[in-house]
Amino acid sequence: MAIRTAVGIGAGLLFLALTLYSLWTALLMVLVIHACAQHEFLRLRPQLSRDAAAVHHGLSTLAVATLSLSLAGVLNSGWALLATGAALLFCALHSIVRYERQGEGGGDVHLLRAVAFITLPLAFVLPLCVHADRFPYLLLLIGAGWGADTGAMWAGRLIGRRPLCPRLSPKKTVEGIIGGMLAAGAVWAGAGLLYPPPHLIAALGLTPTPTPLGALHSAAFGPPTACAAVVLFLLGMVVAAIGAAGDLLFSLFKREAGVKDYGSLLPGHGGMLDRCDSLLFAAPFVYLLSLL
């Protein structure tokens, strides 16, 4: 437990330091996470050839980089669509060739999963790092993940009785998931009291609109009302539920491959995907909230 906690705190602080330093260090962090996650995910299907894996790594990396920069407003969206289309086209063509030669294409469905569930959602992290008016959402995304993990762990240990998905994840319980959702909701409500997310509360009509001089500063919205805190609490629960769905889906992929963890990169946590699976699913939803 001590190792798990220390690694979790250290990795979180490193992530924040790099994402806040500059756009390019934030992009570097996204690319490192993407590379590790793709490597771990492709290892589930060792029958994929090295050449196919190498081409997939190159195209998916190009896709996540261009998508991230496009969503951050740095790059024209046409390049992002072109790179993503190239990655998907490679998966399709390789699947056709593989089926013609070997009579099966399951490994290439795995490549499509890698693009759909790792590359595309991870691209939504960078725009949360580089815009001042969206930065609180990055903290909320991380806070929801931390709160959900902590709440689920303690609720599962103390009152967990009913298994949630015993085949996929025997240790997860209904009580644990509910505890994680409540903890994530508390994090969102508490964070909203200290640093209200810009535009979201005003967009929901729960606080006065900001003054022109402070339009991009969260403090200009004033402290959120009790109703706003309730809304943030509920949104935090939704983010935790979406993250739990991602956790279970990646557990399904592990069960299909017959492995316990995606890797051992992070002591006490497993691989990069074991740590970031819920974040991948929650990031697009939090990004959409930042657009309100």
Number of domains in the chain: 2
- Claim to verify: residue 122 and residue 153 sit in the same structural domain: no
Q: What is the pTM for the complete model shown?
A: 0.85
Contacts of 284 (CB under 8 A, 6+ apart): 120, 121, 124
Give the C-alpha separation, 40 to 291, whole Å: 32
Do residues 168 and 248 lie in contact, with contact meaning Cβ atoms separated by under 8 Å? yes
Domain that holds residue 52: 1-130
Angstrom distance (rounded) from CA 185 to CA 230: 9
pLDDT at site 169: 83
Residues 138 and 258 in one domain: yes
Asked if 262 contacts 41 with a C-beta cutoff of 8 angstroms, the reply is yes
Which of 79, 96, 130 terminates a domain? The answer is: 130
Residues 118 and 73 in one domain: yes
Among the three residues 105, 130, 155, which one is the final residue of a domain in this structure?
A: 130
Given this model, what pLDDT does residue 108 score? 62
What region does 173 belong to: left with phi over 0, alpha with psi -120 to 50, or beta?
beta
Q: Phi-psi bin for 258: left (phi > 0), alpha (psi -120 to 50), beta?
A: left
pLDDT at 104: 59
In the block, tokens 């991948």 appear at 280
Phi, psi (degrees; rounded to nearest 5) at 163: -60, 140
Domain identity same for 170 and 258: yes
State whether 62 and 137 are in the same domain.
Answer: no
| pLDDT, tens digit only, all 292 positions of the chain | 567 667 667 777 788 788 777 889 989 999 999 999 999 999 998 888 888 899 999 999 999 999 999 999 899 999 999 999 999 999 888 878 877 777 655 556 888 899 999 999 999 999 988 765 666 788 888 888 888 888 888 898 899 889 888 888 888 899 999 999 999 999 988 877 776 665 666 656 655 444 444 444 444 444 556 777 888 899 999 999 999 999 999 999 998 888 888 988 877 678 899 888 899 999 999 999 888 7
7, 266 Cβ separation under 8 angstroms: yes
Sign of the CA dihedral with 227 first, then 230, 236, and 241 last = negative
Residues 109 and 177 in one domain: no
Dig out the tokens for 58 from the structure.
Answer: 């190159």
DSSP state of 266: B
Domain boundary among 104, 130, 156: 130
How many Å apart are CA 102 and CA 95, to the nearest integer? Answer: 10
Strand partners, 165: 169
Same domain, 251 and 124: no
Q: Are residues 77 and 137 in the same domain?
A: no
CB 276 within 8 A of CB 116: no
- CA dist 76 and 272 (Å) reads 30
